[in-house]
Amino acid sequence: MCKKAECSKCGKFTWNGCGKHVAAVYDDIEKGKHCSCKPWPGVDTKAEGSTSTTKEGTDQFAELTDSLRKFAELTVVADLR
């Protein structure tokens, strides 16, 4: 079962639990008070004006992209040996 929880990063509301009831938790939270630090599986957060394109999210995406690029380069080098 999923339940509402307070995010330790932003102080807004997020969810904890099994992941099967995320939409119900999302619906019970007042608009504008949803945490965007972690995803809401099964919920179309962009329809409600999500702030998923924050600087923090962009920075995390850039870090992940760089990590994947480095991994791919290492994989190619390992294959050449």
Q: Report the alpha-carbon distance of residue 43 to residue 45 in Å, rounded.
A: 6
- Please list, in sequence order, all residues whose beta carbon lies within 8 angstroms of the beta carbon of residue 20, skipping any fewer than 6 positions away: 1, 2
Domains of the chain, by residue range, sit at 1-50, 51-81
Residue that the structure tokens 């972690």 belong to: 38
Specify the 3-state DSSP secondary structure of 11. Answer: coil
Phi and psi for 7 in degrees, rounded to 5?
-75, 130
**pLDDT tens digits, the chain, 81 residues: what are they?**
999 999 999 999 999 999 999 999 999 999 999 999 999 999 988 766 544 445 556 677 777 887 888 888 887 766 666
Phi-psi region of 74 (alpha: psi -120 to 50; beta: other; left: phi over 0): alpha
